Amino acid sequence: MGIAVGDLIHTLAAVVGLSAILMTSTLAFGVVKYLGSAYLVYLGIRALLEKSKKLKNLLLRK
């Protein structure tokens, strides 16, 4: 339980620090926003390609 509490405190400290930086810097907020968006697009494309690959393998087995 001690490790879990330590992880929680560390995570909260990181969130507070990141929030403080993002509140003071418009540029940092924009960078984080666009990087997050790009990462979500990447994950979506990867999921679609993986699903397509699995479907192709399933159809070839029959």
The four Cα atoms 51, 57, 58, 59 give a dihedral, to 10 degrees, of: 110
Q: What average pLDDT score do residues 20-33 get? A: 92
Q: What average pLDDT score do residues 23-41 get? A: 94
| Confidence tier at 39 by pLDDT (50, 70, 90) | very high
pTM of the model: 0.61
Within 13 A of 31's CA, how many CA atoms are on the CB side? 8
Q: Distance between CA atoms of 4 and 2, rounded to whole angstroms?
A: 5
pLDDT at 61: 75
| Confidence tier at 30 by pLDDT (50, 70, 90) | very high
- DSSP, residue by residue, 20-62: HHHHH-HHHHHHHHHHHHHHHHHHHHHHHHHHHHHHHHHHHH-
pLDDT at 62: 61
